[in-house]
Amino acid sequence: MEWYSPWALLLLLVLPLLGYFMLRGRRRATVKFPSLVDLRQCPVSWRLRLWPVLAVLRLLCLAFLIVALARPRKGMVLSEISTEGIAIEAVVDRSGSMQAEMDYYGEKLDRLEVVKRVLRDFIEGDKKGLGGRTGDMIGLVTFARYADTVCPLVLSHGVLTEFLKQTQIVTIRQEDGTAIGDALALGAARLKKAEEELQRRNVQLGYGGQGQATEGNTPSFTIKNKVMLLLTDGRNNTGRYRPLDAAELAAKWGIRIYTIGIGSAQAYRTVQTPLGTFRMPTEDELDEGLLKALAEKTGGFYSRADDADSLRKIVKRIDELEKTEVKSVQYMQYSERFGLWTLLALVLLGLEMLASCTVFRKIP
């Protein structure tokens, strides 16, 4: 509780003096008698004894009005967060070659599962240095022979991580393949469309076309950079678009591509047969030359991840390069409290007037 005009409370100091004159003024007789000897022997009624209550009610009424004049109010701190974030499209390979096993801190998992776990830590954060991407728009595109938008670009990442968890390696042979070009083209189109829709919404809300405020306000979210994370273990062997053409389109739209090669030359996959479990070596089909060219064309970088630890270091490097700026604007919202004091003053004034006209009525 605070006061908008605390100086008004100084008027309370006048009330004792006013009360003194009000109580003293009643000693002046309205009707004069030649002698008061006989009147002094008359008993004093309870109405006469309680007559000062009227003055007290009037003083309390004035006191409450003075408190209301000082405008008591209660303030509440509100925060408005404006984020200049990164729009990130994770482009993940789920072709059959991602079944090859990979070390995940002593545990043997397939490459896709390792990618999913590291990406989840990148999105949500962990206790090993990744702070999470809470202020970013993140989407998910997966690909094998065909590229699919699994999750659109969203700020709420709970649904995104759930879609990521449900992503599985392709099981239909006719759908197997590695369409890197199509996946990059789809991811770039999603980023471009998300940026255009965000700009359109900001214009409708009264902001400028690029997220600039037009009347001193700040949009809740603007896209600072557009980024694609390509994670694959193979080479482009199908699809309509050539990867370099898709990268050129991404560069034109201001999208940076970070390429990550998954797996090593000593990789293998576990095969279950009627004769037992066998480890089958897998061929390294990673096209590092292409991945380097894609990154260089768009201003990103290429790195190779042989295990979960190296993949996590690459993701942490990207996390440090692509920073999100969050601006918090705090302001006070006040709720006026003078209404209650004014109401009490009016009630007391009404009681005083009612009592003076009925119970404490004087004649003349």
What pLDDT sits at residue 211?
47
Which domains, from first to last, does the chain contain?
2-27+39-75+332-357 (no CATH), 80-328 (3.40.50.410)
Identify the weakest region by mean pLDDT among 78-87, 184-193, 222-231, 232-241: 78-87
Contact 243, 180 (CB under 8 A): yes
Give CA separation, 339 vs 15, 62, 298, 335, 336, in Å.
21, 15, 63, 11, 7
Over residues 7-32, the pLDDT tens digits come to 888 888 888 888 777 766 555 555 66
Local confidence band at 336 (pLDDT 50, 70, 90 cut-offs): confident
Mean pLDDT of 62-88: 77
Q: How far is CA 175 from CA 143, 145, 268, 309, in A?
A: 10, 5, 22, 31
pLDDT digits (tens, 9 = 90+) for 152-167: 999 888 999 999 999 9
Quick check: 305 and 261 in contact, CB under 8 A?
yes
The whole-number average pLDDT for the span 84-96 is 91
Q: What is the mean pLDDT of residues 328-339?
A: 69
At residue 351, what is the residue type?
A: L
pLDDT score of 327 more than 60: no
Q: Is 113 exposed, middle or buried (0-12, 13-18, 19+ CB in 10 A)?
A: buried
pLDDT at 9 (0 to 100): 83
